[in-house]
Amino acid sequence: MRKEFAKTVIDRMQTDPRVAVVIAAISRDLFPRTDRVVDVGIREQALIGVAGGLALTGLRPVVHTYAPFLVERPFEQIKLDLGHQEVGAVLVSIGASYDDPVWGRTHQAPGDVALIDTLPGWTVHVPGHTDEVGPLVEDALNRDDRVYIRLSLHENSQAYPTGQGFTEVRRGRKGVVLAVGPVLDRVVKAVEQEQADVTVLYASTVRPFDGDGLRRALDETERSDVLLVEPYLEGTSAHVVNEALEEVPHRLRSLGVKRHLELHAYGTAEDHDAAHDLDVVGISTAVRSFFHR
Amino acid sequence: MMQTELPALFARMTGDEKHEWAAASTLDVLWVLYDRVLNVAPDRVADPDRDRFLLSKGHGPMAYYAVLAAKGFLDPSTLDTWTSWDSPLGQHPDRLLVPGVEISSGSLGHGLPLAVGTALGLRIQGSPARTFVLVGDGELDEGSNHEAIALAGRFGIGTLTAVVIDNSSASHGWPGGIESRFTVEGWDALVVDGRDHDALYEAFTAPHDMPRVVVAQIRKDV
């Protein structure tokens, strides 16, 4: 995904003089050395501050580094140097929640989307396949507002269309499972294993949230039961599901990176998926207990 | 409007006495910039080639508002509304509410990195515009400033001028002098009396190839 992101941006820079890249040492070899590629070194507060200044002059900054250093460390800069100045930027992270857990907790950012979600006016994309990255980046470059794109090393087996609301992957009668980004394949496997009669929706864009799409899917089911499966902090989108269904009596269960676990463990991403019940076994258990009542 | 009218404009804004000293410390620098240095005007606030002035030290903006009113960016009657619900004037400036205000500030340590980005953006686009940013000596405690100071030096941004109002507000002072924190990163540095208009003018306008810091010293007892 990272290479596809860089390729898309570099191609666009050939024709769009507004586009500038701001990086903080990471991924410097992916971008050409031009005056519109600014490497601030390991200075993440300046990463966002400089991007804000570039945007104030009319440029379209693309800001990229590892997720915790893009969103968590300079969060006040995101809030003030972009949001409060009312300027736009495209923030693109790698690392996701725990793509490389051998580096430990310092390089994990399961709370990134939840943090961005505290600020108004952000579009958030969570692509689940490399082929979804290009269109999402292109769309972000076409705009002037604030966009966060969360890249991951983990992908689904196939891409789905972007920018058209939720995609129905499977139709059933007992409720809806909403799978965000790279968790889709695991969700589909879990639903098949459990022979659950549920609709599976896929989302590569979570903000704005396709509430109409969720309501339409639930119109076709016998129950308004929603299992939300997100690859980041559990319940990050629970409030927007509840807002979308405020006129509909419903049940909601959220799966994601558990809020109560401060893991002091390394291993693989799959180990961490298991610890957070985001592997097929954990999702299957949730599907069974939530829908088979 | 003349500089002599600033105190009367200043006095129309009450209720932030805690930051009156902060505001009074910046008054001469702001006046010299807007009266003699900046290539800006009320009818050119969106001109892409205008000079940029970023008030990083958003505390005590009474002096800033008074100068903006004196130079026609604000109707002086607006000063009477300050901090009220309908007023565009708060105790920290908002760029969306006041024409000519380049950044919304208040939280310290944001203006200098924004100024570096602004100056870089103007350079990338081939603009001759200069970028000035005003910070406080206390504000320099924020580490984000030092990321920006290093970057501006390494990038050789000669169109950038940082004005440090040195009114001895930093909790632990600056051993070796404030200017040394800049010169070690390649900045051109000048230390002047922050009340001496001619010295300020010279410092703001003398040619420089590297980013310049002007440390404007303000003493409370004079």
- Joined together, the tokens standing for residue A228 give 């939300």
CA-to-CA dists, residue A243 to A201, A202, A215, A238, A290, angstroms: 18, 19, 11, 9, 21
Do A25 and A136 fall into the same domain?
yes
Q: What is the nearest CA distance from B116 to chain A, expressed in angstroms?
A: 6
What's the pLDDT score for residue B4?
Answer: 83
Q: Is A160 a domain residue?
A: no
Which of the pair, B179 or B7, is modelled with greater confidence?
B179
Strand positions, DSSP E, A16-113: 19-23, 37-39, 60-66, 89-94
The CATH number linked to B51 is 3.40.50.970
Does residue B222 belong to any structural domain of this protein? no
Number of domains in chain B: 1
Average pLDDT over residues A36-41: 98
Judge: A57–B115 Cβ closer than 8 Å, yes or no. no
Say yes or no: A143 and A179 in one domain. Answer: no
Tell me whether residue A159 is in a domain.
no
Which CATH number do you get for residue A97? 3.40.50.970
Give the HSE-up count for residue A180: Cα atoms under 13 Å, Cβ half-sphere: 31
Residue B115 lies in a domain: yes
- Which value does ipTM take for this structure? 0.96
User: pLDDT band at residue A20, thresholds of 50, 70 and 90?
Assistant: very high
Residue A128 belongs to domain spanning: 2-150
Stretch A109-120: mean pLDDT: 98
Q: What are the tens digits of pLDDT across the range A234-254?
A: 999 999 999 999 999 999 999
Whether A24 contacts chain B with CB within 8 A: no
CA distance B64 to A75: 28
- Residues in B whose CB is inside 8 Å of some CB of A read 48, 52, 95-96, 102-104, 107, 109-110, 112-125, 127, 143-144, 147-148, 150-151
Percent of chain A scoring above 90 in pLDDT: 98
- Give CA A59 to chain center in angstroms: 24
Q: Which of A233-237, B1-5, B50-54 has the lowest mean pLDDT?
A: B1-5
CA distances to A263, B30, B41, B69 from B6, in Å: 59, 11, 18, 9
Mean pLDDT of B12-25: 80
Tokens of A252: 């909601």
A86-90, B17-21, B176-180: range with lowest mean pLDDT? B17-21
Encode pLDDT of B100-138 as tens digits. Answer: 999 999 999 999 999 999 999 999 999 999 999 999 999
Lookup: tokens for B211? 């980013």
Report the CATH number that the domain containing residue A230 is assigned in CATH: 3.40.50.920
Q: What's the structural domain count of chain A?
A: 2
Last residue in a domain, options A120, A150, A180: A150
Claim to verify: residue A134 and residue A177 sit in the same structural domain: no
pLDDT category, B145, cuts 50, 70, 90?
very high
Q: Cβ of B147 and A43 within 8 Å?
A: yes
Calculate the CA A255 to chain-centre distance. 15
B157 assigned to some structural domain: yes
Given a cut of 70, whether residue B222 has pLDDT beyond it is no
A141 with A16: CB under 8 angstroms?
yes
CA A216 to chain centre: 23
- Domain end point (choices A86, A115, A150): A150
Q: Does residue A157 belong to any structural domain of this protein?
A: no
CA distance A42 to chain B (A): 9
pLDDT > 90? residue A33: yes
Flag whether pLDDT at B22 surpasses 80: no
Q: Within this chain, do residues A15 and A140 fall inside the same structural domain, yes or no?
A: yes
Structural domain boundaries, residue B38: 3-217
Q: What is the pLDDT of residue A293?
A: 62
pLDDT of residue B41: 97
Considering only CB atoms, which chain B residues are within 8 Å of A77?
110, 113, 144
For residues A196 and A89, state if they share a domain. no
A142 part of a folded domain: yes
Q: How far is A43 from chain B (nearest CA, A)?
A: 6
- With an 8 Å Cβ cutoff, are B124 and A81 in contact? no
Separation between Cα atoms, residue B190 and residue B188, nearest integer Å: 7
Is the pTM here over 0.90, yes or no? yes
Q: Tell me the chain B residues in contact with residue A38 when contact means C-beta distances shorter than 8 Å.
A: 120
| Residue of A18, A65, A69, A85 best to disrupt the B interface, most CBs of B under 10 A | A85
Q: Does residue B90 form part of some domain?
A: yes
Residues A133, A181: one domain?
Answer: no
* Same domain membership, residue A211 and residue A122: no
Rounded CA separation A6/B108 (Å):
33
Cα separation, A92 vs A118, whole angstroms: 18
**∠ CA A254-A258-A259, rounded to 5°:** 105
Q: Where are the alpha helices (DSSP H) in chain A?
A: 2-13, 44-56, 67, 75-77, 112-116, 130-142, 184-193, 211-219, 238-244, 269-275, 280-291
Shared-domain flag, residues A117 and A172: no
Task: Answer yes or no: is B79 within a domain.
Answer: yes
